[in-house]
Amino acid sequence: MATETKLSHTAAMILQTVNAGYIYGFSVMEMTGLPSGTVYPAMRRLERDALIRSHWEEQSIADEEQRPPRKYYKLTPAGKVTLEASRKRYPLLAKLVPEHQEEQV
Amino acid sequence: MKLRTSLPCHLAELCMIRCASWLVPREQRQAWLMEWNAELWHVRELCTPQKGVSWQAEREVAEFCWGAFQDARCLRQADGNGIARVAVMGSAMRCLFSMMVLLAASYGAALLLPGAFVAMHPPKYKDVGHLVLIQSTMAASDTSATISGEQYNTWKSRPRKLFDGFAFYQVMLRSLPDAQGKIVKESVAVASPDLFRLLGVNPDDAAVQSRDGVLPMLVSSSLWHRRFGGDPAIVGREIAIGSDRVRVAGLVPEGFWRLPGKVDAWVLTPDDAIPPDAVGYVVGRVSAAAKYPGWTNSWEMTAPLPNGNTGEFLCVNLSDRMRGPQGLFLFAVILACLALPATTSLPLGEYRGAPRGLSWGTRLRRWSFLGSKLGLLLPIVYFASLDLAHLTTSIDPIKSEYIQLLAAFSLCLFGLRWVLRDQRERCPVCLRTLTNPARVGHPSRNFLAWNGTELICTGGHGLLHVPEIETSWFSTQRWLYLDPSWEILFAESASASYF
């Protein structure tokens, strides 16, 4: 990445949350306590800036569990670099969002 | 498959998301809709009970869905440069847009409300400058009738120089049958046949002639709709008014009647059939040849009484009754402007020199925004006051004027107050509303320091300090511009806006 993207605290928190394993919109909302009107637009902008990428869950998995397929998000390498920079800028970020490894894609 | 009792709520939420999806650019809409529908499904599974309805949970889900609109709007804004530029000015544009919506709503209501529409388009009586309402000088106002039928006939029968026409009418409540035959009480005027000709309407002579002793009656448009269901066949039909039979001869358009007294129907009665003891109003037309220096809108005259003596009468020109609501509105605006300093301070605060120097464009935009708000406020107040004054057609015209005056004054006063407060609470650079109010200082230390509220522009342009108590050293709010070294704290001013 030629220039480092400066993130606001909220955007950095969402990036940290996705990195911590909360990989779909509602889980990010639950973890951060932010409303849907903030989380989803922010995730779209993070995706636009190539800091995260999204992909749809396999239809067969969703069918097996009798639910609609979800859209999952994951940090890109650029996102990891930006997150590291944001952690330096906002030192409490890691404490605000603890690591969470249960969710797997 | 069992249907859940909360299904209607789920359907309503799906509708919300579907509506929000229309804001999303077409090429992204399908994927966006899929994601939100899937998320909604999971949110409902987690938040709502399997059986019954939990309103608290439904509220949470509805709030979740409300976010779809913000998400869709962000996508829409990101779609084009022009729209993105609007987003920078989002707060100010939203404010102006909301005012435009209010203006459209109040204007639309004024067009739909018959009374308000008529008030905006007052009738034009023929030669209204020469029409006067004659009343006794003893009368305090024109709300009560003062001229007897005998007095009217005395004037009518005498040779005249000053007037070339008279008409009489008496307003009373009479019983009449409506379309279903039900007897209702309505305000009916017994009027001399020349009344409408004097006002400039020339009804069909054949239609307004009495036939076989049955008097012709003109009905107002509102009565025709209210009591006769707008039936065109009512014209020519005979109906009973009290013990008399009358024939409906025609309709008087809505808002035509501007003379004292609320009248729904006019029974055109020959002058010699007007009872001598009937007390009503007299309208006179001053002869075009008559000249009297010093005539104003109202003047007194001496006229013969039926007993041979003379009496004093007041002639009031009808021009005042023909005026539209604009004069009253302007009066209310002037009153509100005079009262405004008593309700809020007029200065917009101190704006000391900006470190980077504000461009003329930025300054001009700020003042244009204030001007636009004022420019939109006045027509909103005008139409809204008209709407309130004419909510129903049953309101007397005089009461309508009072309501309009009061409504226009109140709306204008509070509107101007809001415009100034809103302007003070905006960043002078980007015009967004200042946020994050923080209390600073202690009231007990007011003498040595200051205490009040500090607001911040999220774009990083500066801070606003609003004193809690006005002092000689801190009498008004102060804006503090921030220099570029503060930008690191405001990510959105440096990079693309996240929030």
User: What is the ipTM for the molecules in this complex?
Assistant: 0.88
Of residues B413 and B5, more confidently modeled: B413
Considering only CB atoms, which chain B residues are within 8 Å of A44?
Answer: 71, 74-75, 78
Partner-chain contact B491 A11, CB within 8 Å:
yes
The strand pair at B183-191 and B265-268 is best described as parallel
Q: How would you list the strands of the sheet with B435-440, edge to edge?
A: B350-351, B478-481, B462-467, B452-456, B435-440
Confidence of residue A105 (pLDDT cuts 50, 70, 90): very low
Partner-chain contact B498 A42, CB within 8 Å:
yes
Question: Looking at residue A18, what is its pLDDT?
Answer: 92
Partner-chain contact A42 B66, CB within 8 Å:
no
Question: Looking at residue B497, what is its pLDDT?
Answer: 44
Q: What is the pLDDT of residues B106-116, one digit of tens each?
A: 999 999 888 88
A9-92 fold: Arc Repressor Mutant, subunit A (1.10.10)
Of residues B405 and B229, more confidently modeled: B405
d(CA B452, CA B457): 17
Instruction: State the smallest CA–CA distance between residue A96 and chain B in angstroms.
Output: 19
Of all residues in chain B, the one with the smallest CA distance to A26 is B39
B246: DSSP letter: E
Q: What is the pLDDT of residues B161-200, one digit of tens each?
A: 788 888 999 998 888 887 777 888 888 999 988 888 888 8
The answer on pLDDT for B80 being more than 60 is: no
Partner-chain contact A36 B34, CB within 8 Å:
no
The answer on pLDDT for B331 being more than 90 is: yes
Considering only CB atoms, which chain A residues are within 8 Å of B43?
Answer: 26
Partner-chain contact A71 B38, CB within 8 Å:
yes
- Using only the alpha carbons of chain B, give its radius of gyration: 33
d(CA A32, CA A30): 6
Residues of B with CB under 8 A from a CB of A: 34-35, 37-39, 41-43, 45-46, 63-71, 74-75, 78, 488, 491-492, 494-496, 498-499
Partner-chain contact B491 A44, CB within 8 Å:
no
Least confident window among B280-294, B296-310, B478-492? B478-492
Question: Looking at residue B82, what is its pLDDT?
Answer: 45
Which is it for the CA torsion B419, B422, B427, B431, positive or negative?
negative
- Using only the alpha carbons of chain A, give its radius of gyration: 14
